[in-house]
Structure 1
Amino acid sequence: MTVLPRTGVGTDIHAWAPEGDPRPLWLGCLEWPGERGIAGHSDGDVAAHAACNALLSAAGLGDLGSVFGTDRPEMAGASGAEMLAHVAGMVQNAGFEIGNVAVQVVARRPRLGPRREEMAAAMSAALGGAPVSVSAATTDGLGFVGRDEGLVGLATALVAPVRA
């Protein structure tokens, strides 16, 4: 039987933290000084979390909630980079190597363009050097993103079986 590469899709959505909440914004494994943070159990990094979901999906290993559930107090405040590194290890232990991850952030802010390459490099480093690409989109004022109530991370991942 021929063993083919596998693809996965992942999403993550978070609301902005309440006004005045001192939580920092973490996005794409980077801190964004001066930006309002995200409400969430961990650091709320929608880009990293979507990438985790895509990798877990591609490798047939479940999803973010089954691995890092909010019922686990030790995951409170966990960083997206730590989560990506953990998932990369799971993918490798399942007999796959990461081909690439593509992440898109759908939000009105922050502007990703000036830090796009830095985001891709930080996420790649967390994944042990696997290629990561980052893109951004808005919703032209539609929906909860358009009303600036939160943001979305979408990702795809390609994993390939390791040849023995």
Structure 2
Amino acid sequence: MRIGQGYDAHRFAPGRALILGGVTIDYPFGLEAHSDGDVLIHALCDALLGAAGLRDIGFHFPDNSEEYKDISSRHLLTRVVARLDTEGWVLGNADITVVAQAPKLSPHIEAMRSNLSVDLHSSADKINIKATTTEGMGFAGRGEGIACYAVVLIRREA
């Protein structure tokens, strides 16, 4: 078994859709990024890659490559999962914390878990997603962007 940790943060940007966990959320701002800016999936990819000793998301999907311009982060996640699969790794569980003052994410968490369970080839009960605020402190608290932490356990398939 191996454990991996991932982190990502993006600032809000006008004129973009807000996508978290593959779910489009009605909000006046999206996240500034080369891809769709899904910080939840980016942190999850980094945790999975780190656990498997395969560097990080930027190494595999560089933000200076036109191939990944505005790409769905779910597509990146499926590529990460395929890479782990070829090396014999499967998800044990994932614990994810989204840090955002707004929007309210609790109505969207089950849809996010459902998306991730499909992409991870896992049951939703192995994927935990939490949302928290910073009580007005820091960039997330000031409403400048969103951050996300992810921790995963992977294991060799028996």
Q: Structure 1 residue runs of 4+, over 3 Å off?
A: none
The residue number in structure 2 matching 1:25 is 18
1:159 paired to 2:154 = yes
The residue number in structure 1 matching 2:7 is 11
Do the aligned partners of residues 139 and 34 (structure 1) sit closer, same or farther apart at CA in structure 2, a change above 3 Å counting? closer
* Structure 1 residues 12-52: Cα deviation after superposition (integer angstroms, max 9, x where no partner): 100001xxx32111111101123410100000001111000
Do the aligned partners of residues 10 and 16 (structure 1) sit closer, same or farther apart at CA in structure 2, a change above 3 Å counting? same
Which blocks of at least 5 consecutive residues in structure 2 are unaligned?
A: none
* Bigger Rg over Cα: 1
Q: Report the Cα offset of residue 88 of structure 1.
A: 0.6
Do the aligned partners of residues 140 and 34 (structure 1) sit closer, same or farther apart at CA in structure 2, a change above 3 Å counting? closer
In 2, are the aligned partners of 1:27 and 1:46 still within 8 Å (CA)? yes
**Aligned pairs, number:** 156
Structure richer in strand, relative to its length: 2
RMSD of Structure 2 on Structure 1 (CA) = 1.1
Q: Report the Cα offset of residue 162 of structure 1.
A: 2.3
Q: Report the Cα offset of residue 136 of structure 1.
A: 0.8
SS at match of 2:30: coil
SS at match of 2:4: strand
The residue number in structure 2 matching 1:46 is 39
Letter aligned with residue 106 of structure 1: V
Give the alignment's TM-score, normalised by structure 2. 0.94
- Correspondence 1:51-62 to 2 at 5 A: 51-62=44-55
Which blocks of at least 5 consecutive residues in structure 1 are unaligned?
A: none
Do the aligned partners of residues 103 and 35 (structure 1) sit closer, same or farther apart at CA in structure 2, a change above 3 Å counting? farther
The whole-number CA distance in structure 2 between the counterparts of 1:160 and 1:80 is 23
* Structure 1 residues 87-114: Cα deviation after superposition (integer angstroms, max 9, x where no partner): 1111111221111111110001121111
